[in-house]
Amino acid sequence: MGNCKISGDPSLAFIVEDRYGHRISYLRVSITDRCNERCHYCMPAEEQTWLPKAEILSYEEILRVIRAGTRLGISKVRVTGGEPLTRKNALWFMEQLGQLEGIRDLGLSTNGSLLAKPGNQGHSLTVAECLKRSGVRTVNVSLDTLDRATYEKTTGRDFLPKVLRGIEAARAAEFESIKINTVLMRHRNEHELWDLVEFAREKNLLLRFIELMPVSTTQVLTEENFLSAAEARKLVEFRYGKLEPVPEFRTNGPASYYRIPGTDQKVGFISAMTNLHFCETCNKLRLTCEGKLRPCLGSHLEFDLRSVLRDPAMTDADVERFFLEVVERKPEQHDFRNQYQPGRRMIAIGG
Ligand code: SAM
Ligand code: SF4
């Protein structure tokens, strides 16, 4: 198994560690490359094509991969896309996931537009309530702006009212946590950071500001539209005073959290581009919807697990071996700062 270490642990069945000491416990699973929105940084206008259905992993195939992962110490799964709730029977799939032994933390990333719709259980529950009943603990909702026109300009859809209803539905469903993910964009939402902080405080949501990453196409990230987390922090501090770091507060991901002075509110910053230590605590692998296992979002490395899954001669032990080989190939850090040329759209990788 080369350099990849597997060790026993009293609380986990295994800990899988790569050659740089990253302990892999988290699998982010994209179940579709389709979406009902068209965020320009994720799905540029010139690249709006979908994968044929036969190329997408079936739910059974995805469950087989996740089961193999749990046998190797994966305990957290976050389902994403595209927009995961647009895939047929997504709620059924979440229910299956909620029953898998070994998963202690199940989450979903969504644009929020479908959370308030009726779910599939006799239509008396919302989608959010069905997710909660399936065992979903955390829901991450993308929200870059509270201005309807800016929302439409950014996502290609006039969905802000639906998304706000979705957030209310998620609050009513009482998830353990609801996070709001805001991509920072100069000239687009830098003047709204305070409003987003107030909104999150009022609704008791955990707000995180995310630096724009150079995925999808080369036009996504430019000198002109990049707003760093440090600048965003200064903008927030201009109104609220010096933010207090809360290093002990972690949510199983790469955000650094700060407290707004004089309040209990924490705000996170995900600074993939400017924090040189960003990758040190990475604990993640990604499964794309067509079955590529990726050791890192910011690297072109990806490995075709689908051909293993669809080969009748391959056993679950082969799936596990494949998994470990990908862990072994995990890079020390992402390549985003090295003149990175995007190879794939974010929507096709799974954010
Ligand atoms: N549709 C769901 C949503 O919007 O949350 C899940 C998939 S989306 C690809 C996951 C996350 O990736 C979103 O929070 C989105 O803002 C983020 N994202 C997409 N493209 C990005 C980029 N170029 N830079 C930074 N974040 C990006
Ligand atoms: Fe769709 Fe989410 Fe990508 Fe926007 S960020 S296009 S909502 S997948």
Checking if the pLDDT of 229 tops 90, the result is yes
Q: Please report the pLDDT score of residue 9 as a whole number.
A: 54
Contact 7, 17 (CB under 8 A): yes
Question: Which CATH architecture best describes the domain 5-349?
Answer: Alpha-Beta Barrel (3.20)
Q: Helices marked H in 72-188 — which ranges? A: 90-98, 127-134, 148-155, 160-173
Mean pLDDT across 251-264: 88
Residue nearest to atom 20 of ligand 1 (CA): 42
Cβ burial, residue 24 (10 Å; 0-12/13-18/19+): buried
CA 15, 17, 22, 27 dihedral sign is negative
Task: List, for residues 43-71, the tens digit of each pLDDT value.
Answer: 877 666 889 999 999 999 999 999 999 99
Q: 215 CB less than 6 Å from ligand 2? A: no
Tokens of 279: 């990758």
CB of 42 closer than 6 angstroms to any ligand 2 atom: yes
Considering only 40-54, 80-94, 181-195, 223-237, which range has the smallest mean pLDDT?
Answer: 40-54
Alpha-carbon distance of 217 to 213, in angstroms, equals 10
Taking only the tens place, the pLDDT of each residue in 90-107 is: 999 999 999 999 999 999
The bound ligand whose nearest atom lies closest to the alpha carbon of 85 is 1
d(CA 337, CA 254): 17
- Side chain identity at residue 203, one-letter code: K
Q: Give the DSSP per-residue string, 87-115.
A: STTHHHHHHHHHT-TT--EEEEEE-STTT
Identify each DSSP E strand in the chain by its residue range.
5-7, 15-17, 23-24, 26-30, 76-80, 105-110, 138-142, 177-184, 206-211, 244-245, 256-259, 266-270, 284-287, 292-294, 303-304
pLDDT of residue 330: 80
The per-residue pLDDT for 225 is 87
Average pLDDT in the 259-265 region? 96
Assign 176 a pLDDT band (cuts: 50, 70, 90): very high
Q: Is 351 in the pocket of ligand 1 (CB under 6 A)?
A: yes
Give the pLDDT of residue 179.
97
Ligand 1 and 42: CB distance under 6 A: yes
Beta carbon of 342 within 6 Å of any ligand 1 atom: no
| Structure confidence by residue, pLDDT tens digits, 13-33 | 567 888 888 889 999 999 999
Q: Ligand 1: which residue has its CA nearest to atom 2?
A: 110
CA distance 249 to 246: 6
Most informative mutation of 183, 215, 347 for ligand 1 (most atoms within 8 A of CB): 183
pLDDT at 337 over 80: no
pTM of the model: 0.92
How much is the pLDDT for 62?
A: 98
